[in-house]
Amino acid sequence: MTTRGKVLIAIIVLAGLYFGITKLTSSNLLFKKATTESVLLNSIELPEATSGNGVNTVVPLAPLPGSSAAEKGTPVVWEVMAWNSQMAGMLANGGPRSTTGSAMAANGLDMQIVRQDDVSKMQADLVKNAADLQNNPATPGLIVSIMGDGLPGFSAVQDELKKAGTQLQIIPYSVGKSFGEDKLMGPKEWLDNPKLALGKTVACYLRDGDQNIALKWCADNGLKVNPDETTYDPQAVNFMSASDFLVAAEKYILGKPESRDKIVDGKNTGVKIDVVADAVATWTPGDVNIAKQKGGLVKIVSTKEYSNQMPNIMVTTKRWYDAHQKEVEGIIMAHAVAGDQVKSHPEALTRAADISSEVYGDKDKPGAYWLKYYKGVSEADRNGEVVELGGSKVFNFSDNLALFGLNEGGTNIYASVYKAFGDVQSKLYPKELPTYVPLDQMLDLTPLKNLQAKYKGKTVAPAETQKFAAGDEIRQNVSKRAWNIEFNSGQSTFTPSATKELNQLFDDLVVAGSLKVAVHGHTDNAGDPQANQQLSEDRAMAVRQWLERKSSSAFPDGRIQVYAHGATEPVASNSSPVGKAKNRRVEIVLGN
């Protein structure tokens, strides 16, 4: 047979096979025909899963709230700062006043959101509202949102509220948190050498969240702090008082000097020094104003690293809270629903940003501005230096269970935050804040627990969690500090006095929830070098195990690393008992 004939036969066979298979499949003898046509799926709700990048569960997009006021429900006023952590609250309300189709209106609330950047005015308004409620129980209640780490200082209003026959009460739900937006901005050199901050001045609103960022960074790096904003200490980090976060930025931008008395070792030298703001603790748009109008400062540390520091905490009076339990649960439910929407759907986030623009009232800052800096960006400042600006997150119901320790095996993160910064502020400012209100006197988790029970068995979008890769070492240090954790002589067991130091370490590390922790063990040179090496490892490991036993959720696998140095890295001479004591230490390094 010729080659041409073979090709012709092959074509006939292939054609026969094609038509035969087609006939067979169309007759449903080989494959059963699908009962419906294929469809393109928009979203699938997945089982509970968490990751460091956010929620994996996709909740269906709900109808967005309308734009006209609902004009029904229990009236309440919510005073807020211009702060992106409130995106879920904005969507929940639908506008400056609860709108038709909003989650707030659906839960029986008629809420008026009012911008108020002045913390002292918030305090005064709460006292007035308490008195008004006493005279007329039908008076609309007042809720104010503040930085959670600033609540110890804010609680100083308690004395005035007691005169009105009531006290502070926390709404047990947070709508979100700062995640990079609040920051300490300083010269770039401070990143590699924090000691260069000594003798410099930070402008900020005192005894509140932004100053707390600077104070924690100083404490974690062993930097002395001058708590007197009217004097100058060249051996410490100094502070310059501002009336709010925007004025703090202006202090740096304008560069106007302040004349101060110079002090050394706590004594007035009689010398006058002109100081200017060398750095700023602020938030958006303060950080944006610095970058655009002057430049020269970068992010030293922010709430992105201290990721648990600054939840948005809503407080009211116990008088209103006790009389409006149904409304309290309604506020929680409205914010929970809106939190899932903002997390899951760009349309919901965009709408929330537009509402934020309406509430905050800055004509030069449309919704797109708030949306941009909610997400956080890296931009070149006026000098061409790349600066991180903005950054916040919304919370949903599961995030709140994690925040208040109601999740399985969880720890009350907010309790650690409150105590850590309450202790710092009280120590630095004993005159202004001799004491602060214990958290359990203001926080009642009953409404959150009630709703948790109602949710039991239902699919709920999970909380965001931070995951750490085991063996992934710290590349950029944020802080380094030696802790005076006492061990029994020659052993890796703690002395009874070590508990206080360990608890303080725990609170500090919970605040810095997104940072890896390196525990470095050191000994003096007494004894066998090999035995010292093992002892330093055992002691560092004991610290790690203590932290992980106290809270597996705050210290997941991979977060804590252990390093043993024995006697190889002394910080003082081993020739004296004092020097030896300094060398027997545990150093904690935080970084990413």
Rounded to a whole number of angstroms, the distance between the first and last alpha carbons of the chain is 76
52 has pLDDT over 60:
no
pLDDT, position 459: 65
Q: Which amino acid is residue 318, in one-letter code?
A: K
Maximum Cα interatomic distance, the chain, rounded to a whole number of Å: 118
Strand order in the sheet with 201-204: 238-241, 201-204, 279-282, 183-186, 298-302
50 has pLDDT over 50:
no
Q: Could you report the per-residue pLDDT of 174-195, keeping only the tens digit for each?
A: 999 999 999 999 999 999 999 9
pLDDT, position 454: 86
Q: Strand 141-147 vs strand 312-317: parallel, antiparallel, or unpaired?
A: antiparallel
Count how many Cα atoms sit within 13 Å of the Cα of residue 64 in the half-sphere of its side chain.
Answer: 16
> Does the domain made of 183-302 have the CATH classification 3.40.190?
yes
Model confidence at 464, in pLDDT bands (50, 70, 90)?
A: confident
Mean pLDDT value across residues 34-62: 39
- CA pseudo-torsion sign 201, 312, 395, 444: positive
Residues paired with 274 in a beta bridge: 259
Burial 449-474 (b: 16+ CB within 10 A, else e): eebbeeeeeeebbbbbbbebeeeeee
Element (H, E) at 537: helix 529-550
Closest CA to 351 of 141, 104, 90: 90
Rounded-to-10 torsion of CA 539, 540, 543, 546:
-80
Model confidence at 470, in pLDDT bands (50, 70, 90)?
A: confident
CATH 3.30.1330.60 residue ranges for the chain: 477-591
Mean pLDDT value across residues 272-281: 98
Residues 6+ apart with CB under 8 A from 32: none
More confident site: 51 or 504: 504
The distance from CA 126 to its chain's CA centroid, rounded to whole angstroms, is 25
Other C-beta atoms within 10 Å of 18: how many?
10
CATH 3.40.190.10 residue ranges for the chain: 64-180+311-362+396-409+421-455
As a whole-number percent, the residues of the chain with pLDDT over 90 amount to: 84
CA distances from 63 to 90, 266, 549 (A): 15, 62, 44
Q: Strand 298-302 vs strand 183-186: parallel, antiparallel, or unpaired?
A: antiparallel
Other C-beta atoms within 10 Å of 63: how many?
6
Q: Could you report the per-residue pLDDT of 70-126, keeping only the tens digit for each?
A: 999 999 999 999 999 999 999 999 999 999 999 999 999 999 999 999 999 999 999
Q: What secondary structure letter does DSSP report for 26?
A: H
Contact between residue 149 and residue 370 where contact means Cβ atoms under 8 Å apart: no
Mean pLDDT value across residues 526-531: 94
Count how many Cα atoms sit within 13 Å of the Cα of residue 284 in the half-sphere of its side chain.
Answer: 26
DSSP-assigned letters across all residues of 352-405: HHHHHHHHH--TT--HHHHHHHHH-EEEE-TTS-EEEE--EEE--HHHHHHHTT
H helices, E strands: number in the chain: 20, 23
Two tokens at 22?
């087609």
CA distances from 309 to 184, 208, 213, 349 (A): 13, 12, 8, 23
Q: Could you report the per-residue pLDDT of 204-238, keeping only the tens digit for each?
A: 999 888 999 999 999 999 999 999 999 999 999 99
Mean pLDDT value across residues 282-287: 95
pLDDT, position 462: 82
293 has pLDDT over 70:
yes
CA distances from 194 to 207, 389, 458, 544 (A): 22, 21, 49, 26
Other C-beta atoms within 10 Å of 370: how many?
29
Q: Could you report the per-residue pLDDT of 329-344, keeping only the tens digit for each?
A: 999 999 999 999 999 9
Residues 6+ apart with CB under 8 A from 236: 198, 199, 223, 224, 225, 226
More confident site: 200 or 47: 200
Q: What secondary structure letter does DSSP report for 23?
A: H
Two tokens at 322?
């006790």
430 has pLDDT over 50:
yes
Two tokens at 93?
């309300």
Q: What secondary structure letter does DSSP report for 464?
A: P
pLDDT, position 16: 42
The overall average pLDDT reported for the chain is 89
Instruction: Assign 490 to helix, strand or coil.
Output: coil
Exposed/middle/buried for residue 475 (C-beta within 10 Å: 0-12, 13-18, 19+): exposed
Element (H, E) at 564: strand 560-564
Mean pLDDT value across residues 276-301: 97
pLDDT, position 408: 81
Q: Could you report the per-residue pLDDT of 474-499, keeping only the tens digit for each?
A: 999 999 999 999 998 899 999 999 99
The CA R_g of the chain, rounded to the nearest whole Å, is 29
Q: Could you report the per-residue pLDDT of 13-30, keeping only the tens digit for each?
A: 334 433 333 333 333 332
198 has pLDDT over 90:
yes
Q: Give the C-alpha separation, 553 to 406, whole Å.
A: 12
CATH homologous superfamily of domain 64-180+311-362+396-409+421-455?
Answer: Periplasmic binding protein-like II (3.40.190.10)
Contact between residue 378 and residue 393 where contact means Cβ atoms under 8 Å apart: no
- CA pseudo-torsion sign 486, 491, 492, 494: negative
Topology adopted by domain 477-591: 60s Ribosomal Protein L30; Chain: A; (3.30.1330)
Residues paired with 522 in a beta bridge: 585
